[in-house]
Amino acid sequence: MKINIRVNGKMISDDVACDMLLLDFLRYHGFYSVKRGCETSNCGLCTVWLDNKPILSCSMLCAKCDGHEITTLEGLKKDAEAFAYFMANEGAEQCGFCSPGLIMNVLAMEKELQHPTEEMIKNYLAGNLCRCTGYMGQLRAITKYLNRHQGGKNEADQ
Ligand code: FES
Ligand code: FES
């Protein structure tokens, strides 16, 4: 079937199988930030935005995205860099396997929640798993990143 999906602002028209997953469609078209983890909606590695809301691309048919807009990490480089500064400052960098999905959800949370509490952050990111490090450094970095505009200058701009 023919579909048209706008990815990071660029229209992609393709003829796809009815059962093709969005994850496979995106990787086929070179969006390698989108990672394949559990494939069972449990790890968050494959997170992208559908019309600016985070979804799991391993559980979404690309046919259902026909006529819609997808955003991947490749389309959010500037914001991702600003967030990476906070992660590095807390020594909380993660591997290239799990970090794209985490970053997509942190940036989505920033748009969706106003001044989230630690509990709200934990709930929002409950679906993003890391199999090797702890979560506390990341939580500190995320909290600082989300509160960076409170009380003056953006730390990343200094
Ligand atoms: S690969 Fe999609 S949630 Fe794990
Ligand atoms: S740092 Fe990537 S899975 Fe743990």
For residue 137, the domain's CATH number is: 1.10.150.120
72: three-class secondary structure by DSSP: coil
Q: Same structural domain for residues 60 and 81? A: no
The domain boundary residue, chosen from 74, 98, 117? 74
Check whether residue 49 and residue 102 sit in a common domain.
no
pTM of the model as a whole: 0.92
The series of mean pLDDT values per 10 residues for the chain, 158 residues long, is 98 98 98 97 97 98 98 97 96 92 97 93 94 86 91 49
- 17 plus 55 within the same structural domain: yes
Q: Is 2 helix (H, G, I), strand (E, B) or coil?
A: strand
Question: Is there a contact between 147 and 86 (Cβ–Cβ < 8 Å)?
Answer: no
Distance 56 CA to ligand 1 centre (A): 6
| pLDDT (0 to 100) of residue 151 | 63
Containing structural domain, residue 127: 76-153
Q: Distance from the CA of 84 to the center of ligand 2, in angstroms?
A: 15
The answer on 43 and 92 residing in a single domain is: no
Residues 69 and 107 in one domain: no
Q: Which of 90, 130, 138 to mutate to test the pocket of ligand 2 (most atoms within 8 A of CB)?
A: 130
Q: Report the pLDDT value the prediction gives residue 93, as an integer from 0 to 100.
A: 87
Cβ within 8 Å of residue 36, ≥6 positions away: 23, 27, 45, 46, 58
Of the three residues 74, 89, 111, the one that is the final residue of a domain is 74
d(CA 86, CA 130): 18
> What pLDDT score does 134 carry?
76
Q: Which atom of ligand 2 is nearest to the CA of 129?
A: 3
- Residues 87, 68 share a domain: no
Secondary structure of residue 70 in the 3-state scheme? strand
